[in-house]
Amino acid sequence: MNLHRFANPARFLRIARVVTPLAGWIAVATLLAGAVFGLVLSPPDYQQSETVRIMYVHVPSAWLALQSYIAMALAAAVALVWKHPLADLFVKAAAPVGAGFTLLCLITGSFWGRPTWGAWWVWDARLTSMLVLLFLYVGYMALAGAFDDEERGHRAGAVLVLTGIVDVPIVKFSVEWWNTLHQPTSVFRLGGPTIASEMLWPLGLMVVGFTAFFVWIVCVRLETELLHRKIRARLENTPA
């Protein structure tokens, strides 16, 4: 695949005109359906009773928190190697969204941990590595905005995002490498999921919904940024 086919902002805007509303409506439909199935129709857990419903927000946001970091790291590599103009903008557009998902994951996890573990927070490997991920997002945003030259901010940020990628496998495998209070993975595992299908379906819907929401909001942010640049370029070229 030739990456430079997508480097043209005009072509991106043409594609985005289709993708953005599509992703937006998929997000609305699946999030509504997932919420109804997850919060009302799915059964309470035999051990955790109603608190299990927090999972329908917690797991998708954790998944998206990691996915958006991986996507940012790939885009950062593309931006550094091929000087792809849209890749830098993607990293910048996705960072606050990923940070939001990470925060949502930590907060919902905390609400779940209070009744289940009896503590708002435990210093377990999964929770700690997720907190580090939040700091990486925040650090990227602070660094990218710390330079007068915008390009320099993008490139410095890209190097930081690539360095921080070491945290992603630590988050992913923390529940296997250490004896954590956080339970091990129960959906994507060898030998199939260990979660009841009445709960797996709403969870799947929510994951699709969260992903579609991510695509939608990143596309909107990218379009806005490109239009912003167009306006600025036009203003600079207009004789006073």
Partner 1 sequence: MNFIALVRRDLRLALRQGTDAFVSLLFFVLVLVLVPLAIGPEPQLLARVAPGLIWIAALLSVLLSLERMFQSEYEDGSLDQLALSGIPFALIVAAKVTAQWLTTGLPLLLAGPILAAMLALPNDAQAVLLLSLLLGTPTLSLVGAIGAALVVGARRGGVLLALLVLPLYVPVLIFAAGAIDAAAAGLPARPHLLLLAGCLAVSLPLAPLAAAAALKDALR
Site residues for partner 1 per CB under 8 A: 80, 128, 132, 135-136, 138-139, 142-143, 146-148, 152, 155-156, 159-160, 162-164, 166-167, 170
How many Å apart are CA 235 and CA 229, to the nearest integer?
10
* Number of Cβ atoms within 10 Å of the Cβ of 137: 25
Nearer to partner 1 by Cβ, of 60 and 164: the residue is: 164
Nearer to partner 1 by Cβ, of 37 and 69: the residue is: 69
CB of 151 to partner 1, least distance (A): 9
CB of 61 to partner 1, least distance (A): 20
CB of 179 to partner 1, least distance (A): 14
Nearer to partner 1 by Cβ, of 28 and 156: the residue is: 156
How many Å apart are CA 231 and CA 224, to the nearest integer?
11
Q: What is the radius of gyration, based on Cα positions, of the chain? A: 20
Burial class (CB in 10 A: 0-12, 13-18, 19+), 212: buried
Report angle CA 51, 55, 56 to the nearest 5 degrees. Answer: 115
Contact yes or no for 203/56 (Cβ under 8 A):
yes
Nearer to partner 1 by Cβ, of 6 and 147: the residue is: 147
Side chain identity at residue 142, one-letter code: A
CB of 141 to partner 1, least distance (A): 10
In this structure, the dihedral spanned by the alpha carbons of residues 201, 205, 207 and 209, taken in order and rounded to 10 degrees, is -170
Nearer to partner 1 by Cβ, of 13 and 165: the residue is: 165
Nearer to partner 1 by Cβ, of 99 and 203: the residue is: 99
CA distances from 98 to 5, 6, 19, 126 (A): 26, 23, 20, 17
Nearer to partner 1 by Cβ, of 68 and 174: the residue is: 174
* Exposure b/e, 80-107, CB count within 10 A at least 16 = b: beeebebbbbbbbbbbebbbbbbbbbbe
In this structure, the dihedral spanned by the alpha carbons of residues 30, 32, 37 and 40, taken in order and rounded to 10 degrees, is 170
